[in-house]
Chain A
Amino acid sequence: MKQSGRILLSGNEAIALAARAAGVALGAGYPGTPSTEILEHFSRLGGKAQWSPNEKVALEVGLGVGMGGAAALVTMKHVGLNVAADPLFTAAYTGTSGPVVVVSADDPGMASSQNEQDNRRYAVAAGVPMLEPADSQEAYQYTLAAIEISRRWQIPVLLRLTTRVCHSKSVVQPEPPAEPPRGKGDSPHLPERPEGCFAQMGTVPFSTPGFVRDIPGRVMIPAYARPAHRRLRKKLDEIAQWNETSPLNQVLPGAEKGTVPICRNGPEGASHKWGLSPFPHRRQGIVTSGVAYMHAREAAPDAAILKLGMTYPLPLEKVRQFAASVESCQVIEEGDPYLVEQLRSAGIAVEGKPPMYRFGELNVARVRRILAGDASPEPDPPRGKPPALCPSCPHRPVFSVLHKLDCIVAGDIGCYSLGVLPPFEAMDSLVCMGAGVTMGLGLRHVLPDEQARRVVSVIGDSTFMHSGITGLVEMVYNPPPSGHVVIILDNSTTAMTGLQEHPGTGRTLDHRPTGQIVVEDLVRALGIRNVHVLDPTTESERLEELIRASRAANELTVLITRRTCLLAAGRIRQYDSQNEERA
């Protein structure tokens, strides 16, 4: 929604808006909470956006876009970057002709993920610059900045987000204004909007895409990769130098003494004490980045804060000067002690947080505790009602059968992960996309025969497209002695992330008709003979018979349980009728 130049947007929407303004030619990604809405919104704004089968493919497509001289936006959740890590590391060597921005949406606290890995480590490991916005306004500005940095140094840039930046809505003023916005410039609480090298973004068109041959620069045989690695380190040195004075990092002095009360409360529930800072001249200093800045500013209104926008390569001299100017220097960061380790290894004396705050999200209360050095046990957060499979979900009868037959179930990632909860409790492993198929094979190889025959792999249709196909190739190539059974739970959508399309639905990201991968045809083409397609809701007895029969046979079996997700069915009918009208 818009009001005199202000818009209320989620961080994801703000990124899409900036990408559109900057002329991004293609957005590619795989759905994953909390990143999914970026490409959906980019598409709604008229941008060309597509779901790839997985994040590795998406990044590689994006690298091709960059190689062709155009701008690419590649989006994924944190664990998606594990899948896309292979191209990322070498793309740092090759660099990119057109800008390539890789969005990693991390999920501290695991609102909807299997781990809370901190992808800031990837920027260091791969050697790519990293920006961390704190709210939607910065999500907009930093997207422009990432594109500009990528263009200027011809290097992929990591835009690292967290759940609260992606999904929180806040006010965005999209156009870079000629003058600082009124009321903000003199505020001690919010940083000035960055300006400088990327202020003109959106007005400078990229060069027309076209192929320019550069074999030593792009073909990473060892002879060409060795100098490429040296070029990468030189670029990173230059970027680090630029970052020392970059507008992305800001020292924010905080409120004047005596004008704003300082909250020095102990554990939650204790009475709040208010008072003035004991350090009249030298203040408490805080180094922070991302949404942690917002919590820190609120928790410590009078502290001097160095807010880092670009957290790799770090502006170490700027931090060193800041640390020397304050009484004590506390790092406030969510997740891993990334900044603490980097700054300490550079010889800068900073305080970290007690280990207990590595787990879960930060919030204002937790930051107050960190600043107070309080490592006492925290009160348990309210425990709400857990999610569950929908009442008539087609996955339900499948997990009822698996439970009844006491199967050993190698599970996978999706709505059907909820099959682990009562009343089914029919899942014995969940690690990553595609591991259901392959971990099931490993179990079959080593378990005693009676147990091995109980092993069943389950995987959803979108997850199968993402990472299940190579698992079936493995199954055909290295079949366990007792054979194996894979159940592909085909509900014709990517349900868990909000009903996105995938290559098996035959519709593009914006729901238009396109080529369709037919699961049973693909499976049969791999040489698997026992392939059955059945409706789990009306044929659960047949499903049970087929699983029982496969236990006795030493054969490879794929069962495709196909019934459209109840939440998706209405929408899919609508897409199909719209597409028929268009045709």
Chain B
Amino acid sequence: MTTNQRGKGDSPHLCEAPSGPFRQMGTVPFSTLNVIIAGLGGQGVLTASDILAEAAFESGLDVKKADVHGMSQRGGSVASDVRFGPQVLSPMVPPGEADFLVVLAEDQVAIHQSALRPGGVLISPEMIDAQRLPNRRSVNVALLGKLSRHLKIEPGAWLEAIRRNLKPALHEDNLRAFEIGRAPCEEQ
């Protein structure tokens, strides 16, 4: 897996077959996979991290998810850490050790870029054509679809987690958004 540069969202290397979650990490001794989801209050950062955490949980993995509530509800920057693997210790991703950084707001990319480990993968909103989404508020779930291409989590676990975390009225739009995000790049 190579570092994805900002501005090259549709570069072909992201279309490679999803790689497994338990590669040998250089800096994390327990084969823990580290994902940070970031954006602004109201964009669905916490919903997205809940969906990811539950999808990993559904897969039988140990999971920890850390975020800070409170002031984040007032439109400020929000970030949520999700870690999963055979056994997770600290709930927070150590600085510079994120394997994946999923950012929902373009202007938040620079702020969080340093959270990625060398070789970590950035998933940013420009990788999704928001015009194609049935509901523009589903960018968070569409980006999870992108992320899902890299993770060995069964589609069923994702779909179940999406259903659990969203109102029934939003299921159809968000399941579609997930599919659009998950589709190979050439189909977009």
Contact = CB atoms under 8 A, between A and B. Distances in A.
Contact of A6 (B26, B50, B57, B94): B57
A498 B72 CA distance: 11
Contacts of B26: 272
A364 B96 CA distance: 11
Contact of B90 (A163, A298, A301): A298
A387 interface: yes
Contacts of B8: none
A53 B167 CA distance: 32
A164 B70 contact: no
Contacts of A473: none
A384 B87 contact: no
B69 A385 contact: no
A390 B74 CA distance: 6
A294 B58 contact: no
B53 interface: yes
Contact of A498 (B63, B67, B73, B96): B73
Given A297-B89, A384-B79, A388-B76, A171 B57 contact: yes
Contact of A294 (B68, B90, B112): B90
Interface in A185-236: 187, 189-190
Contacts of B30: 189, 298, 301
Given A8-B57, A298-B30, A170 B94 contact: no
A387 B71 contact: yes
B75 interface: yes
Interface string A280-303: 000000000001001101100100
A264 B57 CA distance: 31
B90 A418 contact: no
Instruction: Summarize A's interface: helix, strand, loop or mixed.
Output: loop
Contacts of B66: 164, 167-169
B65 A168 contact: yes
B68 to A, nearest CB: 4
Contact of A8 (B54, B70, B71, B112): B54
A34 B79 contact: no
B68 A291 contact: no
Contact of A260 (B29, B69, B75, B115): B29
Interface in B36-61: 40-41, 50, 53-54, 57-58, 60
B79 A1 contact: no
A581 to B, nearest CB: 20
Contacts of A167: 66-69
Contacts of A364: 90, 92, 94
Contacts of A349: none
A496 B94 CA distance: 29
Interface in A1-32: 1, 3, 6, 8
A112 B107 CA distance: 24
B40 A385 contact: yes
Contacts of B111: 382-384
Interface in B128-174: 164
Contacts of A497: 70
A279 to B, nearest CB: 19
Given A34-B70, A295-B90, 15 more contacts: A3-B57, A3-B60, A111-B69, A112-B69, A167-B66, A189-B30, A298-B29, A298-B89, A363-B92, A364-B90, A385-B108, A386-B77, A387-B75, A415-B74, A418-B74
8 contacts: A33-B69, A168-B64, A169-B65, A260-B29, A272-B27, A294-B90, A385-B107, A498-B69
Interface of A: 1, 3, 6, 8, 33-34, 111-112, 135, 163-164, 167-171, 187, 189-190, 260-261, 263, 268-269, 272, 291, 294-295, 297-298, 301, 363-365, 379, 381-390, 415, 418, 496-498, 567
The 6 closest A-B pairs by CB, nearest first: A384-B77, A112-B70, A387-B74, A387-B76, A168-B91, A33-B70
